[in-house]
Amino acid sequence: MNSDDVAVRDALAGRYPEAAAGLDEFVALLSSDGVTRGLIGPREVDRLWGRHVANSAVVEALIPIGASLADVGSGAGLPGIPIALVRPDIEVVLIEPLLRRSTFLSEVVALLGLGDRVTVLRGRAEEVKVVVDVVTARAVAPLDKLARWTLPLVDVGGTVLALKGENAHTELDEALAELERLGGGSAEIVMVGADIVTPATTVVRIVKRKAPRRGGRR
């Protein structure tokens, strides 16, 4: 672990002391089984804390107390597992279509003792039958396509939190018409976790205000 990652790990542990042990164990799993099973690239091991785990965990600031959450395209459990660890008040569904990834997620949930409130669901977002308060997604698809997969999973008043990079503004501009068609009445870019990670995590927050227009998925 490089010095920057040590600093991020310590800052995250200071913010969420009760989750520190679980976060350490999750990072250990990512850096071992996650690498050997092809879920995490070997070059990412030295920056797991800053680029992946803390970057995911800080999104919890945008999630209401007691919410239900679905993490679409969860992959190695990002951002769903870190969020679940730092927010013991929420229930989480990890949605992942690939067998090797969903198997890894099930093992992680069991090893971290999260089975009472974290469920792994193997399938594509457009095929699953869940309705939650919040949907998260990280590095899954361009925003217009992602919205077609995620907005149907939240009821009116629910929120999609899409973790994005430096092209977030461009993606949002290009997706506005599709968001409107799908019922996303308001969308904005918010930055979270600036006191933990550098750069801060960029999130496109979409609030579903109405049912889709005719031709949109319900």
Mark the ranges of the chain whose per-residue pLDDT is less than 50.
215-218
Residues 6+ apart with CB under 8 A from 63: 69, 83, 87, 90, 134, 161
Maximum pairwise Cα distance, the chain: 53
CA distances from 136 to 9, 69, 70, 75, 200 (A): 22, 7, 6, 12, 17
Structural contact between residues 126 and 98, judged by C-beta atoms closer than 8 angstroms: no
What is the DSSP-derived secondary structure letter of residue 165? -
Q: 23 by DSSP, 3-state: which?
A: helix
Structural contact between residues 167 and 134, judged by C-beta atoms closer than 8 angstroms: no
pLDDT reported for residue 217: 44
What the chain holds in terms of domains, given with CATH numbers, is 3-208 (3.40.50.150)
pLDDT reported for residue 213: 63
Cα separation, 139 vs 137, in Å, equals 7
Cα separation, 208 vs 217, in Å, equals 13
pLDDT reported for residue 218: 39
Structure tokens belonging to residue 110: 């069991």
